[in-house]
């Protein structure tokens, strides 16, 4: 009798152990069998009436500040396509995952979307680090990733489409414009990570070639909030232009403290590449008024498509929300993909990639076009001045869409950048 | 004892057989969790047994991972400069990178570097009798130093992006399912040997000294032991475990960045052990697997509010299960045992009475 | 010369911010021994409280917008204090004898508070516009001392003084110190340690709220701002030494000065590395911090 009791307990604990293992191993969401069934199903998923796409942005952690709006924009675009009858007769079903501002999580979730959910494409990412984490995953699984944020270039993966600006669609024209309009003495300020360092390396080469002068270069750790010393250094060297590649949060501290130190846009021009309408809302238009930013799209951009887009976005997510460049790039990425799918007549990654070359879409920022060779997008460059109400006043634009050149091959001074 | 053992064996057998019943994606997740379980064993040794709470094990994990990743990166670059160096303006491979061209050196460095750092730091810290909360917070400062350095020295470490985009290991493609299964099995073997080693360690006199240090360090000192030696040894051992875990993590996940060695991951490592039961080695392993499983589960199903669940889980564990999941199991067992004893006593009373008749 | 003076001022100013984020911890951690990882989130709550007050004024009393900040100061204190009180009563209370467990549980709390802030106020940063009377600065010999920095310096000085008076000159404050020094003895002498704990934790949390209110003048306000400050705050307290306010003050200004001076001569990244490395080395030499409480107990 005693022994039986003892054994019963052992069995119970064994059961507990085993169930723990199963629970954790397959994360309980779907039993193992179900997952396997899905694997078999993959070939038949074409016949069902929905098709899955993945949306992978940080919904928590430090990057949620920026990325949540991208998810909203992508969901809106998907809804539009579904309302107009879907794609190849199917409704698009978004599978939303949280990258949690953590790069291995991005890799894990991308893998999950491709292998378990069998999504036909992923829209996602913001930081370069998150893109770099997803890159090997999409390449190994032959998936598709649409990356909607401006970045440092020097990359063209066959499995990624880049709908944000590369350096020659943002930084390079901005530097040329500043040299012609604002002065020669540049001070480079950035957060200590890949984009600012690479961007500044390009800017330094360009300054050398176009007759500018570098008077200072500073990097601050991510999340840095005290800029009094940096501002002292800026005061010491008296630059004409501060080229600012700080990331979101640090910008708030930098501009607030710059204003407190008695420096306004009249005394010193700050050109930013990461401050869009969304960020201005978190800093305050008054603090930023008069400073400049370079993008491909502003909420104030005057096109008929943009009027509809802004109106729709505000109606859907609240009238105090704003649109900005990455939001727009995320939005038209979905439409570009849909156009490519229509042209290919299939969701198959290879066919979509092939069909994507030269696809055009009338985006809110103007007509955008996919460059088949680099898988980047042709875009119009715009420089704007920040107004107290948080909107941009456009000072200059490139007129027509600029061809993407992620490796800066068409610029002679950039030859030494890549060994 | 033997009867108790076979449960462990079955647990590990289940792990060994996982490639047969899990899909590729789930297997890679489980492989990652097992790497975390290795760290958890080390933390259980230093925290549960010795009473040192380290909030800095991300550093040792990261160092091990970087050592392995540097080798993989060089192999993937095929003799050319790694891509991030090119765009950071480095023209020549730095000398210390050259060492990592050899796989044996890289693998041994993945253990040696964390251990050396751990020995260096812990020797001074423990000799100066910094302990308890102070040690925990100091270990956080070390994390800040390393993470800031690794981000700042982009030309050597890849900055925030870290090292990624590997292709092969010893010539085998990292993306092939077979390599992944082999790596997974290797992880299980390593985990098992760490578990057995630690178990052996805690079961003899050495383990009892550790527990004595946890409960009253000064008494141990008065008894003629030198607690510093014990603490430095066990701390370095846990660093070695974390280093190995890092190397295996890189092989399976294919990515390491400073974010993985930061303060948040370091605290999470402690939480795994807390959830599983801090003074139980098997509990630490289960805790690492369950916590991370729960994290994946919640974030897959409730991407908007999963932090609420996770936060709630930690509070609940600390408040209601101070000894973690294994604590629940043990208390159930104890209650059962007491019940049995009482039943035995009762029955013997009855027998005695009967025998009088 | 002017460079040196400016840097000295910058250092003092950074020190005053460090001190602000650490005062609350000096009470909850220094005096009570609770490792409150949610301290950063209490700062965040204070900052959001300031934001809410601003929005309230913008909506209902736009003509007195200039004075919203005056109202925001007590509001942020009380909102954080109330939240702290709730935390103490429901959670911390059970963990006094387990400091390392308090770390884990409050980490969970911080996750929850972050997510709640994200749900209520949205993920992006919100803007708090500093009142106009704090714009500009004092100009002396070509140097500018911004009013906001001066205000924060004064603000933190008043706060520290008030706290000092409270702890040393009032009966309630003396009870807190008595419990800190010897909990059992204090209990024997008829002090309700439970009550004292609750008030002390609430006050510590309230100071975190004040810090949040002050930080709105300088930095971003978003769901994750707490994570920026939490480690710094703990460093200040352990560098200063536990149990004495003066230690916290010294620790904060020490870190502030070292930080800005090294940053001026190197870079912000190196300054951070050097500052933290110096703290680690210093604590090896003096494990109990700059100012330590004398005690006869061994453990």
pLDDT mean values, one per 10 residues, chain C (299 residues): 86 93 89 87 96 93 88 96 94 83 88 91 86 87 88 94 93 89 87 90 95 92 88 91 88 94 91 93 88 66
Closest CA to B304 of A107, A125, A57, A316: A57
In angstroms, the CA C93 to CA B327 distance is 22
In angstroms, the CA B286 to CA A176 distance is 59
Q: Nearest CB to A232: which of C7, C128, C268?
A: C7
Q: Quickly tell me which residue has 């308890």 as its tokens.
A: B132
Beta bridge pairs of residue A146: A123, A161
The vertex-A260 CA angle with A257 and A261, nearest 5°, equals 90
- In this structure, which long-range contacts are made by residues B350-357, counting pairs with CB atoms below 8 Å and at least 24 apart in sequence? none
Query: Between the CA of residue B183 and those of A73, A103, B282, B352, what are the distances in Å?
Result: 40, 21, 22, 62
Q: Do B293 and A154 touch (CB under 8 A)?
A: no
Query: What are the tens digits of pLDDT across the range A333-370?
Result: 999 999 999 999 999 999 999 999 999 999 999 999 99
Same structural domain, A328 and A403: no
SS3 B173: strand
Q: Do A25 and B88 touch (CB under 8 A)?
A: no
Residue A175 CB coordination number (10 Å): 24
SS3 sequence of chain A? CHHHHHHHHHHHHHHHHHHHHHHHHCCCCCCHHHHHHHHHHHHHCCCCCEEEEEEEECCCCCCHHHHHHHHHHHHHHHHHHHHCCCECCEEEEEEEEECCCCHHHHHHHHHHHHHHCCCCCEEECCCHHHHHHHHHHHHHCCCCEEECCCCCCCCCCCCEEECCCCHHHCHHHHHHHHHHHCCCEEEEEEECCHHHHHHHHHHHHHHHHHCCEEEEEEEECCCCCCCHHHHHHHHHHCCCEEEEECCHHHHHHHHHHHHHCCCCCCCCEEEECCCCHHHHHHHCHHHHCCCEEEECCCCCCCCHHHHHHHHHHHHHHCCCCCCCHHHHHHHHHHHHHHHHHHHHCCCCHHHHHHHHCCCEEEECCEEEEEECCCCEEEECCEEEEECCCCCEEEEEECCCCECCCCCCCCCHHHHHHCC
Q: Do A26 and B26 touch (CB under 8 A)?
A: yes
pLDDT tier for residue A30 given thresholds of 50, 70 and 90: very low
Q: What's the token pair of residue A407?
A: 């490796």
Residue B352 CB coordination number (10 Å): 9
Residue C262: closest CA among chain A residues belongs to which residue?
A229
User: Cα-flanking dihedrals φ and ψ of residue A33, to 5°?
Assistant: -60, -40
CB contacts, 8 Å: A140 with chain B: 175
Q: What's the token pair of residue B131?
A: 């302990």
Same structural domain, A318 and A394: no
What DSSP string describes B291-323? Answer: HHHHHHHHHHH-TTTHHHHHHHHHHHHHHH-TT
Same structural domain, A204 and A242: yes
Residues 6+ apart with CB under 8 A from B272: B36, B37, B39, B40, B43, B284, B287, B288, B291, B292
Name the residue range of residue A389's domain.
Answer: 169-301+382-414
Mutation site for B-interface testing, chosen from C108, C110, C114 by largest number of B Cβ within 10 Å: C108
Same structural domain, A186 and A231: yes
Task: Give pLDDT, residue B44.
Answer: 95
Contact in structure between A293 and A386 (CB atoms under 8 Å): yes
CB contacts, 8 Å: C264 with chain A: 229, 232-233
Task: Give pLDDT, residue C188.
Answer: 92
Name the residue range of residue B122's domain.
Answer: 6-306
Same structural domain, A154 and A204: no
Q: Nearest CB to B148: which of C98, C269, C287?
A: C269
Contacts B–C by Cβ distance under 8 A: 113
Question: Is B298 part of a structural domain of the chain?
Answer: yes
SS3 C32: coil
Query: Mean pLDDT score of chain A, rounded to an integer?
Result: 87
In angstroms, the CA A179 to CA A171 distance is 12
In angstroms, the CA B293 to CA B33 distance is 8
Contact in structure between A262 and C140 (CB atoms under 8 Å): no
Taking only Cα atoms into account, the Rg of chain B, rounded to an integer number of angstroms, comes to: 23
Same structural domain, A62 and A177: no
Domains held by chain B: number: 1
Beta bridge pairs of residue B256: B163
Residue C106 CB coordination number (10 Å): 27
Contact in structure between B180 and B34 (CB atoms under 8 Å): no
Question: Is B263 part of a structural domain of the chain?
Answer: yes
Task: Give pLDDT, residue B341.
Answer: 63
pLDDT tier for residue A102 given thresholds of 50, 70 and 90: confident
Contacts A–B by Cβ distance under 8 A: 179
Contact in structure between B52 and B231 (CB atoms under 8 Å): yes
pLDDT tier for residue A58 given thresholds of 50, 70 and 90: very high
Measured CB to CB, residues of chain B less than 8 Å from chain C are: 53, 124-125, 128-130, 132-134, 136-138, 140-142, 144-145, 148-149, 151-152, 216-218, 263-264, 267, 270-271, 274, 305, 307-308, 310-315, 317-319, 322
Q: Is the pLDDT of residue A405 over 90?
A: yes
Same structural domain, A408 and A297: yes
User: Which one has a higher pLDDT value, C270 or A17?
Assistant: C270
Q: Is C141 touching B (CB cutoff 8 A)? A: no
How far is the first Cα of chain C from the last one, in angstroms, to the nearest whole number?
A: 49
Contact in structure between B48 and B118 (CB atoms under 8 Å): no
Question: Is A118 part of a structural domain of the chain?
Answer: yes
Residues 6+ apart with CB under 8 A from A395: A292, A383, A384, A385
What DSSP string describes C203-242? Answer: HHHHHHHHHHHHHTTTS-BSTTHHHHHHHHHHHHHHHH-T
Instruction: Give the gap in angstroms from C-alpha C168 to the nearest C-alpha of chain B.
Output: 26
Question: Is A313 part of a structural domain of the chain?
Answer: yes
Q: Is C93 touching B (CB cutoff 8 A)? A: no
In angstroms, the CA A272 to CA A291 distance is 8
Q: Do B30 and A25 touch (CB under 8 A)?
A: yes
Mutation site for C-interface testing, chosen from A63, A218, A256, A319 by largest number of C Cβ within 10 Å: A256
Same structural domain, A204 and A241: yes
SS3 B226: coil
Residue A10 CB coordination number (10 Å): 15
CB contacts, 8 Å: B297 with chain A: 27-29
CB contacts, 8 Å: C228 with chain A: 223, 225, 249
Q: Is the pLDDT of residue A3 over 80?
A: no
How far is the first Cα of chain B from the last one, in angstroms, to the nearest whole number?
A: 39
Q: Do B317 and C104 touch (CB under 8 A)?
A: yes
Contacts A–C by Cβ distance under 8 A: 133
Q: Is the pLDDT of residue A134 over 70?
A: yes
Look up the CATH number of the domain holding residue A117. 3.40.50.2300
Q: Do B164 and A127 touch (CB under 8 A)?
A: no
Which residues of chain B fall short of a pLDDT of 70?
Answer: 1-4, 339-357
> Which chains border B (3 or more CB–CB pairs < 8 Å)?
A, C
Contact in structure between A78 and A36 (CB atoms under 8 Å): no
Share above pLDDT 90 across residues of chain B, in percent, rounded to a whole number: 54
Question: Is A106 part of a structural domain of the chain?
Answer: yes
Widest CA span in chain B? 99
Same structural domain, A248 and A125: no
Q: Do B308 and C115 touch (CB under 8 A)?
A: yes
Query: Mean pLDDT score of chain B, rounded to an integer?
Result: 88
Task: Give pLDDT, residue C63.
Answer: 87
Q: Do A36 and B89 touch (CB under 8 A)?
A: no
> Which chains border C (3 or more CB–CB pairs < 8 Å)?
A, B
Task: Give pLDDT, residue A368.
Answer: 95
Q: What's the token pair of residue C140?
A: 């002396």
Q: Do C273 and B315 touch (CB under 8 A)?
A: no
Residues 8-37 of chain B with CB under 8 A from chain A are: 10-11, 14-15, 18, 21-26, 28-30, 32-33
Q: What's the token pair of residue A160?
A: 């990624």
Residues 6+ apart with CB under 8 A from A170: A150, A273, A294, A295, A296, A381
Q: Is the pLDDT of residue A36 over 70?
A: no
Beta bridge pairs of residue A7: none
Q: Nearest CB to C127: which of A225, A261, A282?
A: A282
User: Cα-flanking dihedrals φ and ψ of residue B71, to 5°?
Assistant: -65, -45
Question: Is A36 part of a structural domain of the chain?
Answer: no
User: Cα-flanking dihedrals φ and ψ of residue A233, to 5°?
Assistant: -65, -40
Same structural domain, A55 and A151: yes
Taking each helix axis from N to C end, the angle separating A64-83 and A325-344, rounded to the nearest 10 degrees, works out to 40
Q: Do B311 and C98 touch (CB under 8 A)?
A: no
Domains held by chain A: number: 2
Q: Do B292 and A9 touch (CB under 8 A)?
A: no
Q: Do B29 and A25 touch (CB under 8 A)?
A: yes
User: Cα-flanking dihedrals φ and ψ of residue A159, to 5°?
Assistant: -110, 10
On the CB side of B306, CA atoms within 13 Å amount to 22
User: Which one has a higher pLDDT value, A283 or A119?
Assistant: A119
Instruction: Give the gap in angstroms from C-alpha B125 to the nearest C-alpha of chain A.
Output: 27
Question: Is A263 part of a structural domain of the chain?
Answer: yes
User: Which one has a higher pLDDT value, B34 or A26?
Assistant: B34
Residues in chain B: 357
Same structural domain, A252 and A394: yes
Q: Nearest CB to C144: which of A65, A262, A282?
A: A262
Query: What are the tens digits of pLDDT across the range A192-243?
Result: 888 898 899 999 999 999 999 999 999 998 888 899 999 999 999 999 999 9
Question: Is A312 part of a structural domain of the chain?
Answer: yes
Same structural domain, A87 and A97: yes
pLDDT tier for residue A16 given thresholds of 50, 70 and 90: very low
Question: Is A33 part of a structural domain of the chain?
Answer: no
In angstroms, the CA A350 to CA A345 distance is 12
Question: Is A160 part of a structural domain of the chain?
Answer: yes
Q: Nearest CB to C235: which of B141, B267, B270?
A: B141
């Amino acid at each position: 009798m005693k022994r039986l009791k003892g054994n019963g307990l052992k069995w119970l604990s064994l059961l507990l152990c085993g169930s723990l293992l199963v629970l954790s191993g397959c994360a309980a969401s779907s039993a193992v069998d179900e997952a396997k069934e899905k694997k078999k199903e993959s070939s038949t998923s074409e016949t069902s009436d929905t098709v899955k796409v993945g949306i992978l942005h940080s919904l928590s952690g430090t990057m949620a500040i920026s990325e949540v709006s991208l998810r909203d924009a992508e969901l809106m675009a998907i809804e539009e396509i579904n309302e107009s009858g879907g794609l190849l007769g199917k409704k698009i079903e978004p599978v939303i995952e949280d990258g949690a501002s953590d790069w291995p999580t991005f890799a894990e979730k991308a893998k999950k979307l491709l292998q378990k959910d069998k999504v036909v494409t992923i829209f996602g990412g913001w930081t370069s680090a998150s893109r770099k984490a997803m890159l090997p995953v999409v390449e190994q699984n032959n998936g598709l990733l649409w990356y909607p944020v401006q970045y440092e270039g020097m990359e063209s993966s066959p499995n990624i489409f880049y709908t944000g600006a590369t350096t020659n669609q943002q930084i390079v024209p901005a530097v040329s414009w500043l040299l012609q309009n604002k002065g020669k003495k540049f001070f480079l300020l950035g957060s200590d990570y890949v984009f600012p360092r690479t961007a500044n390396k390009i800017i330094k080469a360009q300054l050398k070639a176009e007759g500018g002068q570098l008077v200072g270069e500073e990097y601050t750790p991510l999340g840095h909030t005290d800029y009094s010393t940096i501002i002292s250094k800026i005061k010491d060297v008296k630059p004409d232009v501060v080229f600012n590649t700080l990331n979101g949060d640090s910008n708030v501290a930098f501009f607030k403290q710059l204003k407190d130190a008695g420096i306004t846009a009249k005394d010193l021009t700050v050109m930013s590449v990461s401050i869009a309408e969304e960020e201005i809302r978190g800093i305050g238009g008054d603090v930023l008024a008069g400073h400049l930013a370079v993008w491909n799209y502003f909420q104030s951009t005057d096109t008929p498509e943009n009027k509809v887009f802004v109106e729709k976005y505000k109606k859907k997510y609240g009238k105090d929300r704003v649109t900005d460049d990455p939001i727009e790039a995320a939005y038209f990425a979905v439409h570009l993909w849909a156009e490519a799918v229509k042209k290919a007549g299939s969701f198959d990654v290879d066919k979509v990639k092939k069909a994507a070359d030269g696809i055009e879409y009338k985006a809110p920022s103007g007509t955008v076009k996919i460059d088949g060779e680099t898988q980047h997008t042709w875009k119009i460059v715009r420089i704007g001045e920040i107004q107290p109400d948080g909107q941009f006043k456009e000072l200059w634009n490139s007129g027509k869409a600029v061809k993407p050149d992620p490796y800066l091959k068409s610029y002679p001074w950039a030859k030494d950048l890549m060994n | 004892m033997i009867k108790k053992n076979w449960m462990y064996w079955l647990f590990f057998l289940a792990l060994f057989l996982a490639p047969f019943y899990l899909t590729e994606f789930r297997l890679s997740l489980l492989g990652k969790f097992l790497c975390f379980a290795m760290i958890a064993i080390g933390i259980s040794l230093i925290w549960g047994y010795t009473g040192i709470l380290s909030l800095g094990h991300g550093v040792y994990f990261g160092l091990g991972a970087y050592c392995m990743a540097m080798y993989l990166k060089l192999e993937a670059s095929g003799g050319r400069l790694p891509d991030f160096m090119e765009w950071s303006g480095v023209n020549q491979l730095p000398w210390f990178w050259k060492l990592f061209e050899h796989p044996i050196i890289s693998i041994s460095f993945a253990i040696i570097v964390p251990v050396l750092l751990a020995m260096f730091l812990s020797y001074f810290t423990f000799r100066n009798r910094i302990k308890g909360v102070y040690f925990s917070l100091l270990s956080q400062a070390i994390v800040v130093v390393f993470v800031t350095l690794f981000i700042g020295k982009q030309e050597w470490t890849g900055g925030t992006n870290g090292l990624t985009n590997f292709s092969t290991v010893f010539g085998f493609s990292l993306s092939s399912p077979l390599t992944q299964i082999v790596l997974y099995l290797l992880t299980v073997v390593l985990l098992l040997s760490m578990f057995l080693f630690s178990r052996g360690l805690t079961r003899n006199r050495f383990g009892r000294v550790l527990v004595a240090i946890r409960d009253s360090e000064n008494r141990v000192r008065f008894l003629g032991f030198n607690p510093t030696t014990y603490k430095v040894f066990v701390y370095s051992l846990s660093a070695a475990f974390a280093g190995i875990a890092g190397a295996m993590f890189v092989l399976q996940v294919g990515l390491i960045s400073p974010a993985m060695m930061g303060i948040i991951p370091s605290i999470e490592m402690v939480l795994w052990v807390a959830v599983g039961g801090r003074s139980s080695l098997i509990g630490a392993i289960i805790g690492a697997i369950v916590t991370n499983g729960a994290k994946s589960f919640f974030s897959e199903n409730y991407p908007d509010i999963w932090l609420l669940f996770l936060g709630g889980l930690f509070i609940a564990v600390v408040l209601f299960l101070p000894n973690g999941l294994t604590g629940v199991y043990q208390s159930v067992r104890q209650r059962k045992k007491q019940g049995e004893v009482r039943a035995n006593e009762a029955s013997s009373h009855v027998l005695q009475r009967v025998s009088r008749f | 010369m002017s460079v040196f003076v400016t840097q000295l001022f910058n250092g003092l100013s950074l020190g005053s911010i460090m001190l602000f984020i650490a005062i609350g911890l000096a009470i909850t951690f220094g005096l009570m021994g609770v490792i409150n990882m949610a301290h950063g989130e209490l700062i965040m709550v204070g900052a959001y409280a300031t934001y809410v007050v601003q929005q309230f004024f913008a909506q209902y009393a736009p003509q007195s917008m200039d004075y919203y900040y005056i109202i925001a100061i007590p509001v942020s204190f009380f909102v954080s204090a109330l939240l702290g009180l709730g935390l103490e009563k429901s959670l911390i209370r059970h963990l006094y004898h387990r400091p390392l467990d308090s770390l884990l549980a409050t980490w969970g709390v911080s996750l929850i508070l972050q997510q709640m802030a994200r749900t209520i106020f949205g993920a992006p940063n919100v803007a708090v516009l500093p009142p106009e009377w704090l714009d500009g600065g004092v100009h002396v010999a070509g140097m500018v001392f911004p009013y906001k920095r001066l205000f924060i310096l004064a603000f933190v000085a008043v706060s520290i003084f008030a706290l000092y008076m409270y702890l040393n000159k009032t009966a309630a404050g003396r009870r807190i110190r008595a419990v800190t020094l010897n909990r059992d003895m204090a209990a024997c002498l008829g002090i309700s340690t439970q009550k004292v704990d609750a008030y002390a934790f609430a006050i510590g949390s309230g100071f975190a709220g004040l810090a949040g209110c002050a930080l709105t003048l300088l930095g971003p306000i978003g769901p994750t701002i707490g994570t920026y400050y939490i480690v710094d705050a703990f460093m200040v307290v352990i560098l200063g030494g536990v149990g004495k306010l003066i230690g916290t003050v010294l620790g904060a200004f020490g870190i502030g000065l070292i930080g800005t001076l090294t940053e001026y001569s190197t870079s912000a990244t190196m300054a951070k590395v050097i500052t933290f490395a110096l703290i680690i080395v210093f604590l090896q030499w003096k494990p109990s911090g700059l100012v330590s409480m004398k005690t006869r107990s061994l453990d």
